[in-house]
């Protein structure tokens, strides 16, 4: 059945990061608490989430087509191009690192950012909030890690962005990622059909 109310346009979006193990929200409340911080402004067309499952196929002599297909792996990536330069965003984009103040006098103060050494990358928790009018969606990613190199350009006529590419990591407890929504189109169908 055609229903144009089920077309979704992410008119507002926010990305928040926190330490792995931070208490994830269990609803759509706008208040995330102090365990998470918003990354701030990002480019309007850069926010995306991609899944990339892997499959193997069983071939049989009696068929020109696979006779069975089974999933062997799963993968997912959150990507967004950050516009705001600050210490938290640099650490998120480079997978960790350290920031220290190296001078006090004369003003202004000078700070040093050092990216993480090999083997010292830090995982992070992530939350993506989307809103389309009254419809809200929240994606929770308990554990992720910056998994790509950082390519920055410094153009005279446009802002320099920080490319955040978080690969979802799994574990032996809980879901690798999951969503909350108030969209009635997601309501489970009654048992036995409509």
* Residue 103 pLDDT level (bands cut at 50, 70, 90): confident
Q: Give the torsion sign (CA, 12, 180, 87, 151).
A: negative
SS3 state at 184: helix
Concatenating the DSSP letter of every residue in 119-182 gives: T----EEEEEEEEETTEEEEEEEEEEEE-S-------SSSPPPEEEEEEE---SSS-S-EEEE-
Closest CA to 179 of 23, 11, 28, 13: 28
Cα distance between residue 177 and residue 126, in whole Å:
10
SS3 state at 11: coil
> Cα-flanking dihedrals φ and ψ of residue 156, to 5°?
-75, -25
pLDDT at 187: 86
Q: Which residues fall within 8 angstroms of residue 193, CB to CB, at 6 or more apart?
A: none
pLDDT at 104: 76
Cα distance between residue 145 and residue 77, in whole Å:
9
DSSP code at position 73:
E
Look-up: residue for tokens 């069975």? 68
pLDDT at 20: 93
Please state the rounded mean pLDDT for residues 3-8. Answer: 86
Structural domain boundaries in the chain: 4-23+30-86+123-183
Tokens of 144: 């992720």
* Residue 98 pLDDT level (bands cut at 50, 70, 90): very high
pTM over 0.85: yes
CA 185 to chain centroid, in Å, comes to 24
Mind listing the pLDDT tens digit for each residue in 107-127? 788 999 999 999 999 999 999
* Residue 194 pLDDT level (bands cut at 50, 70, 90): low
Mind listing the pLDDT tens digit for each residue in 78-91? 999 999 999 999 99
Concatenating the DSSP letter of every residue in 27-44 gives: S--S---TTEEE---B-T
């Amino acid at each position: 059945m055609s229903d144009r109310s089920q077309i979704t346009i992410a008119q507002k979006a926010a990305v928040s990061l926190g330490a792995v193990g931070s208490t994830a929200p269990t609803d759509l409340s706008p208040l995330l608490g102090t365990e998470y911080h918003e990354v701030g402004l990002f480019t309007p067309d850069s926010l995306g989430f991609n899944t990339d499952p892997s499959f193997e196929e069983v071939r049989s002599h009696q068929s020109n087509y696979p006779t069975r297909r089974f999933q062997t792996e799963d993968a997912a990536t959150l990507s967004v191009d950050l516009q705001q330069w600050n210490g938290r965003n640099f650490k998120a984009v480079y997978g960790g690192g350290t920031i220290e103040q190296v001078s006090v006098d004369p003003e202004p103060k000078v700070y040093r950012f050092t990216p993480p050494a090999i083997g010292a990358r830090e995982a992070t928790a992530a939350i993506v909030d989307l809103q389309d009018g009254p419809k809200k969606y929240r994606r929770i990613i308990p554990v992720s890690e910056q998994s790509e190199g950082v390519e920055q350009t410094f153009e005279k006529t446009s802002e320099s962005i920080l490319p955040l590419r978080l690969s979802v990591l799994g574990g032996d407890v809980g879901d690798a990622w999951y969503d909350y929504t108030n969209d009635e189109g997601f309501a489970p169908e009654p048992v036995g059909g409509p």
